[in-house]
A and B are shown apart, each in its own frame.
Chain A
Amino acid sequence: MRPYTDQSGPAASPSSGDAVPDRPTAAAVAVERPVAAGDRRRKWRSRRYRWDTKYSPYAFVAPFFVFFAAFGVFPLLYTGWSSLHRVSLSAPNDMEWVGLHNYTRLLEDEFFWNALRNTFTIGVLSTVPQLLMALGIAHLLNYRLRASAFFRVAILTPYATSVAAATLVFVLLFGRDYGMINWALEGVGLGKVDWQSGTLSSQVAVSTIVIWRWTGYNALIYLAAMQAVPNDLYESAALDGATRWQQFLHVTIPSLRPTILFTVVVSTIGATQLFGEPLLFGGAGGQKGGASHQFQTLGLYLYEQGWFNFHLGRASAIAWAMFLILLIVAGVHLLIARRLRKSQ
């Protein structure tokens, strides 16, 4: 507490301060001080107060920005710098200037284009079904339900499962000879699929892991947005004779447009960075993304170049290329969003 010794009397205003010795209130008597000391104290206090209001905001944001500068901005810029050099993992301080070589090399690198293609197709294969399913599930959860709390928690449990744990299980489930999925496919007469070695099949398998982990989470985000839609809209639509499907199409979806855009952006960012699922789906030597790189993503290619081929400079160039792709993707989303808003 602040020592407001002078405020025991109701008449004492804060501005009159300690320097009123001729009105001996109980506290003032108890803390007898010379006028000058009180004066100095008050001055110091008001100066401290002024400093406090002026500088404490900086103190509050400082921890964030210190860490952010050290582990966010500096590495970002330094990645750009090292992408212009030949840097080996075995001697990272030994940098040799090569200009844009790492980038031009990337453009001629078939593995880079392969990784870019794979990242795109896996991104589409995982994001589109995931968000469509999430939308449907959210719509169902928005009805009055028994055990709705149970459903909500249960569909979120995959979100609590780590990439590593989830992928390890799915590797077994997708096993060619003894996996449960092939066993079921054979049971219904469809025959086994070699989930590991085919291009499409392996990418479907990797996408399945992503879909499994994130659909419930996105469903809850959609559900939250649906619950913010005023119910009058549905009531008047129902009065106009709209069926449930028409209500979903003409009331729910338009109201959810910002949320849908948000989830599309977040999922796209996640898809661009996809790493853990394909790495562990590949088992030993997973950084290759399969024997013929059939499911190697950009994240995996960066990891392979940097930490298996020891080319940190090339890895940096790949990182910047990924960032560029993200910016393009974000720009496209923004454009689509603006187009949609105009067309309304």
Chain B
Amino acid sequence: MTFGRRLHRFRLTRGTAGKHPGARLRGASLRSAVKRIFNGLLRRAPMDKDGVARIAARQIYILPTSIGMLYATTVFVMLLGSLNYQNNIGLLFAFFMASVGLVAMHHCWYNLLGLAISVRSGPAVFDGAAALFEVTLSNERSHARYDLRLKGGLDASTPVALDAHDQRGIAFAQPTSRRGLLWLTDLEVETRHPMHLFRAWCYARGQASVLVYPRPAVAAPSPVQSSGDTHRPAARTGEGADDYIGSREYRSGDSTRHLDWKAFARERGLVVKQFGGDDGLEVWIDWRALSTPDPEERIRLLTRQVLDAGAANLRFGMRLPGTEIGLASGADQMQHCLRELALFDDGQTKAPSH
């Protein structure tokens, strides 16, 4: 995995797990190499043992904005003109504006100094959907902070103001483009407080990841029926009409036809009657049963099969090269399989598949 640490959008590195072979670069271009070296030189606020990064004085970068350059030019011209015409009040005014700029620069820097940043992972998502992280900005001093923005999120983040000893959680959305673990190891927080003349920013280390499931294929062939017992077709519609096997709590998505209305009337809450459970409905979702040459495509098909099997409430197992997940049913089984599929390493796919 030479490119395992290749940076994704500067701050986001992918886990070593799901690397799309097609996405591999033939060779690192000079540009990305320079980018990587430069990126390595940037100072980042390290995480302490509680997972909080505190911005120290030397980890803050600051540069004037275009408005700041305009301001500086204006002040310079005012200064030159007033000096030339020996206009002391003009000079006084120019010096005041220059001082304001200077003070504003320090306020801009100070606005980030000591800011505590921590990141938490959000729930797993399917490839293509936005992965959500929760970034917490906390102000541990007795001066307020203003206009803090997270850079690089999917949607333009609204600026955050923090009162003294205040903290705020911000949803930080990242696009997903491949399965695997999406790591958020680097965060950029910026501010243009107080006068938009300077932009100060800092990088903070984080340690959070969102699991990205493979993007399911639109449709997939029916999975292999359980061996030996072939007298029943894997009819997904046939669920449930047979024997009553017990009740469980209602989960969103359950058909209302299976609600136990009598139990509801007895104020026992929403309960779903479960039917079926006959061992004839056992399927194996098998890597080898598919013949698609592209391993990623195959994983997408398998994902669709897992989702379908889960939706049909079947008992199913999954076989991947090197792994096998035993027969089970329910949401846990589905998540287990999706997780395996998400983290399935294509490095191992090559040998057995062809």
- A, B: real partners: no
B→A interface (CB under 8 Å): none
